[in-house]
Structure 1
Amino acid sequence: MSSAKKITFRSSEEESFDVDKAVAIQSQVVKELIEDDCADVKIPLPNVPSRILAKVIEYCRQHIDLKAWDAEFVKVDQTTLCDLILAADYLNIEGLLDLTRLTLKDMIKGKTREDILKSLSSEKYTTPEEKEECWRKISEILN
C-alpha cells in the first residue's frame, strides 16, 4: 500500500500518524471530511490521544486485509455459497452469515426465481424438489 495516497492524522498530543487513504476512510467522519473537501491530507483529531489513535489505525489496517480476504473467500459458485449460508445459519456464525447473505443478494440481484434455481448445481441438487427446498431455506435466511 505504500504507493497509495497518504493522510496524516494529528492526535491530541500533536503527534502525526501517516496512513494510507484506504485506511483513513474507514472512519466515516474522515471519509465525509475528505468527500466534502473539508480536509486535505492533514486531519487534526484533538479528541483522540496518540496511544489510542495508534490502536485505531492498527485495527483499520487489519480490517482492510480482512475485507480483501473476505472478498476472495466468497468467490465461489452459487451452490457453494448457498451451502455456506445454510451452514453459517445452522452453526450460528453471524459474521459468515452476514458475508454470505450479502454476497448472494448481490449475485442474484435482477434474476428471476427460475434463473436462480437453474443455476444451482445439478450435481448437488438433482431434482427440482431438492432445488426448491434449498431455495426455500435460503429465502427464509435472506429475509
Structure 2
Amino acid sequence: MAEQAPVDVAPVAEAEPIYYFKLGSCDDKEVKISSEAIKQSKTLNDLVSNLQYNAEEGESTEVIPMDNIKEPTLVKVRDWCEKHKGEPIPVDDESVPKNVTIPEWDEEFLKIDNDELFHLILAANYLDIKQLLNYACKKVALMAKGKSPEELRAIFAIPTDEEDEAAEKAAAEKKKAKEAEKAAAAAAGEAGPSDAAAAN
C-alpha cells in the first residue's frame, strides 16, 4: 500500500474579537458601533487607531465625539456600516461620471426624505465612507435626471432669485436694527447714571 504524502493544512486564521465603540452625537446621544463596522469609515478607523480608544472589555467606556452629526443621521450611518462590515472599501474611481449601481438593499435604505438624505451625504463625506457617499450621491443624481429647473427647485427646496433677494434684504434690515440697538445702548451707557438722574 503506497504511503500518502502529508497534506499541508493552512493554519486557520483566528477571528478578530469584535469590540463596540460609542459615538457621541451633537445632540448628546450615544450610538454604539462595532469595530468591524467602523472600518467602513476611514475617519473613524483612523480615530480609533491613532487615538487608541480602548475597548478591552468588549465595549469602549470613552465616547468618540461627533460634534456636527445628530443622532438620527448617526444611527443611519451606523446601520449602513453594520450591514456592509467586512466588505472591501472601494478604490477611488476617477471616471466622470462615476459608474455606480445602487444594490437593492441600499436602494431601500436610501428611501428617505430629501432633508435626511442631505444630512446623510454630509455625514458620509465627513466620516469618509466612500461607498455610502457614492450610493447617496447617485440617488440624488437619479432624482435630478430629466427634471426641469422648476421641478429641481421644488425637489431640493432651492429658493428662487426673488426669494433669495427677500431673504438677503430681511437679513440686512435685521442687522441694521441690531446695530442701532447697540448704538442706543452704548449712548445710554455713556450718559451715565448721574446724567440720567439730572435729566429727570
- TM-score band by shorter chain is 0.3 to 0.5
> What's the TM-score once normalised by structure 1's chain length?
0.41
> What's the TM-score once normalised by structure 2's chain length?
0.30
More helix by share: 1
Q: Return the index of the structure with the highest Cα Rg.
A: 2
